[in-house]
Amino acid sequence: MVVMNRWFAGIAVLAVAAAGCGGSGSSPSSSSGHSTSPSASTSATAGPDRDIALKSDDAPQNPYAAFGSLWVAAHHGNAVMRLDLTTGKTLARIKTGAVEPGGITAGAGLVWVGHYGTGRLLVGIDPRTNKIVRRTKLPGESCCQPAVLGSMVWIAAGGPDAALIVGVNTHTGRIVKHIYGIDGPVVVDGHLWASQDGVPVIVDPKTGHLVTSTSAGAVLWASPTSGGLFYAMRNGELDGIDAAGNVQRTVLGPAGAKLAYTEGMAVTSGGTVWASDGTSSLWRIDAGAKTAVLAAHIPHDTLSIAGDGKGGVWVALFDVAHVQHFSA
């Protein structure tokens, strides 16, 4: 959860979406007034094998496994939590110094955290000390995950009328590159991707040159490739997309039902793909499967997800301050 942002035309988000607040800085919208997946009422195959209760006002989102821990943004707590992957125990609670911490990634030896809306801050956390060692004020509103490629971390820093990503030097924390007209940077198999008016584009990070892909309207979220494909939600379906942007695999729910009618997100975990409709349904797609299986119907709005790398998935429940784990 995918949380991306409301100005992300076409890529639309939640990643907020499942993931959190958008560029306006308000809380994520509930599913009220939106249809959920037609199969979402089907009995779930299993409950979570771990259920971690956090502080009631944390509003957790965008879990991310790195450096042997699970990192979770406490969106309303203005902090990032570091949790033990096995016990769920809170190992550290790191105040970020700005409102609406959201997207999380890791690279260049640090955990990077962006802030939605008016937060306008990128921080780098040293996992050895749990201290913030990089702090970059952004020129505009941010959204989504940062994306680390080499010695640069990219993050959206424009606004609803002026899309922009900036490149921040991972060693100095200084902004050294501006690329206008795009948001939502994501590293896909060693290449920088972004969104231009809702259409994914491949970006040359040195020149800023853009190559339009064919997967228009896909909701991109950082996740490893699986079988040579990365996965994204598009028009309610799950698409497996190759390095050139061509859709090579399409998965729907039982009886051809859409997996989402609002924004959604997809992540890989080993050979398994997990997808969320952005509100309450969690889908599992096994290797080679043509149909998604409803893994869980969680009676709470706004789910954001992250693969654990072993076939399972972490789910942050924004509304009720829990983080859960589901095995494949």
CA distance 47 to 223: 24
Query: pLDDT tens, 308-326?
Result: 999 999 999 999 999 999 9
pLDDT band with cut points at 50, 70 and 90 for residue 273: very high
CA distance 131 to 149: 22
**Least confident stretch, 55-64, 122-131, 294-303, 318-327:** 294-303
Query: pLDDT tens, 225-248?
Result: 999 999 999 889 999 999 888 999
Residues 61/321, Cβ–Cβ less than 8 Å: no
Q: What is the pTM of this model?
A: 0.87
User: What was the pLDDT predicted at 166?
Assistant: 97
Q: Show me where the domains of the chain are located.
A: 50-326
CA distance 29 to 14: 9
Per the listing, tokens 């199969």 go with 39
Please give the CATH architecture assigned to the domain spanning 50-326.
7 Propeller (2.130)
Phi, psi angles (nearest 5°) of residue 184: 55, 55
Query: pLDDT tens, 192-216?
Result: 999 998 888 999 999 999 998 888 8
Say whether pLDDT at 184 is over 80: yes
User: Does residue 59 come out as left (phi exceeding 0), alpha (psi in the -120 to 50 range) or beta?
Assistant: left
Say whether pLDDT at 16 is over 60: no
The pLDDT of 252-256, averaged and rounded, is: 95
CA distance 8 to 196: 9
User: What was the pLDDT predicted at 45?
Assistant: 59
CA distance 48 to 324: 6
Per the listing, tokens 């398994």 go with 272
Strands 69-74 and 79-84: antiparallel
The pLDDT of 33-61, averaged and rounded, is: 70
pLDDT band with cut points at 50, 70 and 90 for residue 11: very low
For residue 8, give the 3-state DSSP assignment: coil
